[in-house]
Amino acid sequence: MPYVPLAEPLLGQKEVEYASAAIRSGWISGRGPQVEEFEVKFSDWLGVRHAVATSSGTGALHLALASLGIAKGDEVIIPAFSMAAIAFAVTYMGAKPVLADSEASSWNVDPHEIEKKIRDKTRAIVVMHTYGHPADMDPIIETAHRHGIYVVEDAAEAQGAEYKGRKAGSLADVGCFSFFANKLITTGEGGMLVMKDEDVDSRARLLRDMAFARHSVRKFVHSRVGYNYRLTNVQAAIGLAQLERIDEFISIRRKNAQTYRALLGEIGGIKLPPELPYARNVYWMYSVLVDKGKYGLSRDDLVRRLGNYRIETRPFFTPIHQQPAYAELGREASYPLSEFLSATGLNLPSGNTLTEEQIEYVSSKIHSLSNMTNHA
């Protein structure tokens, strides 16, 4: 019985060569020529002016908010259905996360719900491009401009996704990326924040590196409270090799999505992931919704059955207001779409190493389980 992993990185000889060269150079920590080269090449690929490499995607989110001046007492609107790292970054700043529900069409945060949540203390909106599908950015940015607040894109899952022909992460005041091992390109751990404004770039670079005073004769003088969010030179070298293949990786994900769509499209109770007219989805995860009444199994039952066939899957995110760390937010309002997505959503194997044969195996099991339950 074959094993089908959820998402494995695709690494090759270039990654070995570039990382080895960084090691041989002696530049192995958070400073070195590959870090700067990775920043420049990533910003060029994305089409933005500035990029700052970080030790993680969460660090990029935190630095983004810090560089925009978010402070204690401020409010930041975030998707209720999102990775907890977004809420954590807001909390790190002493600000309050304010939740907005999702829209059914894209599974992303609903621009109309964002509008309802803006108050006097609102300073920023963080938008996540869920599972590789871009959010509807134009109305969100228009709302933000009208109210004089910032927009931050969490594009951790959407490297190469496009909104109306523009790359996700390049559309707002700041964009944030993750290079964790299961992302489209990886440095193992790592992240990047990108921006158009030079002052925001300068603040991010200062805060990333412990806020060392730049013009002090004494080395260990810090102009403000900073953080150690540096990406290592060895990781950046791996990132450079991965970036050379990003178009290939996007093509792999989209081709795999086409195969899944052809094989799963006729199964009752399995709702396939969206790709709205304005979007190019990169299918970081091939994500489906499971309707128990039509399919015959609940999402959780399907997870267990596929696990018996050595197929690794992952349920959708738990909404922020259902997280124990943020239980108080669940008492303020309800978020029915976020709860629906969380209860029925399933991520199928989706990595860059996934083969057509593996997709056929996964799909055949989803078919057979449906037939078994509907004819029991």
pLDDT tens-digit map of 255-283: 999 999 999 999 999 999 999 999 999 99
Q: 22 or 30: whose pLDDT is higher?
A: 22
Contact 296, 360 (CB under 8 A): no
Contact 157, 183 (CB under 8 A): yes
**Domain-ending residue, one of 223, 243, 263:** 243
Q: Do residue 237 and residue 127 come from a single domain?
A: yes
Partnered with residue 290 across adjacent β-strands are: 270
Q: Band of the pLDDT at 374, cuts 50, 70, 90?
A: low
Lowest mean pLDDT among 9-13, 211-215, 329-333, 354-358: 211-215
Q: Is 8 a domain residue?
A: no
Looking at the structure of the chain, the number of domains it has is 2
**Domain-ending residue, one of 243, 273, 306:** 243
Q: Do residue 254 and residue 236 come from a single domain?
A: no
Q: Is 3 a domain residue?
A: no
The model's pTM: 0.96
Q: What CATH number did the domain enclosing 310 receive?
A: 3.90.1150.10
DSSP labels, 283-319: -SSEEEEE-HHHHSS-HHHHHHHHHHTTB--EEPPPP
Q: What's the distance, CA 343 to chain centroid? A: 20
**42 C-beta neighbours (distance < 10 Å), count:** 25
Q: What CATH number did the domain enclosing 70 receive?
A: 3.40.640.10
Q: Is 87 a domain residue?
A: yes
Q: Do residue 169 and residue 155 come from a single domain?
A: yes
Q: What is the dihedral of CA 186, 182, 92, 160, to 10 degrees?
A: 60
Rounded Cα–Cα distance for residues 213 and 200 (Å): 17
Q: Which domain holds residue 292?
A: 246-374
**Domain-ending residue, one of 243, 268, 294:** 243
Nearest residue to 239 (alpha-carbon basis) of 86, 67, 83, 45? 45
Give the dihedral sign, CA 23/29/32/35.
positive
Under DSSP, the state recorded for 223 is S
Q: What are phi and psi of 126, to 5 degrees?
A: -110, 125
Q: Is 284 a domain residue?
A: yes
Q: Do residue 197 and residue 333 come from a single domain?
A: no
Give the pLDDT of residue 163: 98
